[in-house]
Copies of this chain bind each other. A is one copy, B any other.
Amino acid sequence: MRDPVHGLISFEADEERIVVELLATPELQRLRRIRQLGLTCLAFPGAVHTRFSHALGAAHVMQQLILRLRKIHHELPISQRLSSECARDAIAAALLHDVGHGPLSHLFEDAVAHACPENARHHEAWTAQVLCEPGTGVNTVLGQHDPELPARVAQLIAGHHELPYLARSVSGTFDVDRCDYLLRDAHSTGVGYGDFDLAWLIRSLRFGESHDGQAPGLAIDGPKGLTAIESFILARLFMFQQVYFHKSTRAAECMIIAILRRALVLLQQGVRLAHTPSAMHALARGEQPPLGEYLDLDDHVLLETIKEWRHAEDPILKDLCQRLHTRTLFKTEELFGEAATKTGQERALALVREIAQDAGFAPDSYAHLDLATVTPYEEDRSLMVHFGRGPHRCPSEVSFVLDRVKNESLTRVRLVFPGEVRERVQQALETL
């Protein structure tokens, strides 16, 4: 198979046969209808790649990683080496790690969390359910290989495995998910900063130190791979700065959340909304939707729903959907310094709500404070650095740049509101 990021992708070995079977399941095919970056394509027109290609890419990176680990696993006692079964499990985990993802990136989750917190449920939980609920295509395929496989792969996706180096490859500072999404998002957005040297990084991987006879975690060979890992971590920082925290993306996301929350409120009030997916009805009733209904949700469905809601009776829902459909995005103002502190934020939000109200916009739907935050490098000993002599060390101990950014957070605070009140908001902020 051709992949725009990795070039050649193929799964031909015996232990990789499971990939071909899993790809044919409806749950994986559904990922073709979910974009990796949700509404980011409103800001970066090329960013329309799907979670399906990301899943393939992650499985491919896992293949490369396994190839590397096998080149060196003779260093380990036989019981800690990478058996064919473990390899299969790991590739399946990489392919399936997002199979329970909701539509429009994380937005659906967030909206539900806001509107009915008691029903908030992370996509990770849905993923586990897709794997373990009898009757899903994925569960059937996995079960045919080994009745324990669904549970084992679900555990691995959650980061649990008796081989720490494998667990950390699925979920850690440097895992196959991040490896693929950074490269893929960079390729599709045209933002070069997400690039890093994956081949070199994988080549410089080693096993970490063993303690008490336990299998080791992952480490990198310092002289070879330190800059590669630095550049990987900075690539992630830069993608957050440029893409994931982009003001238009964040504004569009606020709008989607406002739309979904408004719709849930209306449904809870008993309003009838045509073309509403069943899963939304369940959520509005305070129930978790059955898996089938949940999986019926995808980007197409939700965007078509929003298109239909342009004809809803509720003026707020109608207007928000119309704006989104024609890409009349909310505007943003970033808060700095004093205004960005907790107190400043509260005052600024109060202000923009007041202005919205004055202008005839319901503040709950039209005036938002958007807080975007990430810690580009959390040091957690999941990836150590090895130099010729001496013990394995944390990256920050030996890296000029990681030492200076570790555990520090990057935060963007923004007010989000309709373009109609932009000037008034700007004036108000100046006098703040």
Q: Which residues of A contact B (CB under 8 A)?
A: 1-5, 7-8, 10, 24, 26, 29, 32-33, 41, 44-46, 48-50, 52-53, 56, 187-193, 195-197, 199-200, 203, 223, 226-227, 230-231, 234, 237-238, 241-242, 247, 300-301, 303-304, 325-327, 376, 389, 400-401, 404-405, 408, 410, 426, 430
Given contacts A226-B241, A241-B226, contact A26 B301 (CB under 8 A): no
Given contacts A200-B8, A408-B404, contact A2 B238 (CB under 8 A): no
Main secondary structure on A side of the interface with B = helix
Query: Which chain B residue lies CB-closest to A231?
Result: B193
- Contact, CB under 8 Å: B3 / A190: yes
- Contact, CB under 8 Å: A7 / B45: no
- Contact, CB under 8 Å: B231 / A4: no
- Contact, CB under 8 Å: A200 / B7: yes
Query: Which chain B residue lies CB-closest to A400?
Result: B410
Which of B2, B195, B241 is A400 in contact with, Cβ under 8 Å? B241
- Contact, CB under 8 Å: B46 / A234: no
Per the bound structure, the CA–CA distance linking A45 and B35 in Å amounts to 12
- Contact, CB under 8 Å: A405 / B408: no
List B contacts of A241 (CB < 8 A): 226-227, 400
Interchain nearest-CB distance for A403 vs B (Å):
9
Interchain nearest-CB distance for A194 vs B (Å):
11
What are 26 A-B contacts defined by CB distance under 8 Å? A1-B45, A2-B44, A3-B45, A4-B46, A4-B188, A5-B190, A7-B200, A8-B199, A8-B200, A24-B327, A45-B53, A48-B48, A192-B231, A193-B197, A193-B227, A195-B195, A227-B238, A241-B400, A300-B303, A301-B304, A304-B304, A389-B430, A400-B405, A400-B410, A401-B404, A401-B405
List B contacts of A326 (CB < 8 A): 24, 26, 29
Query: Which chain B residue lies CB-closest to A410?
Result: B400
Which of B56, B230, B242, B389 is A238 in contact with, Cβ under 8 Å? B230
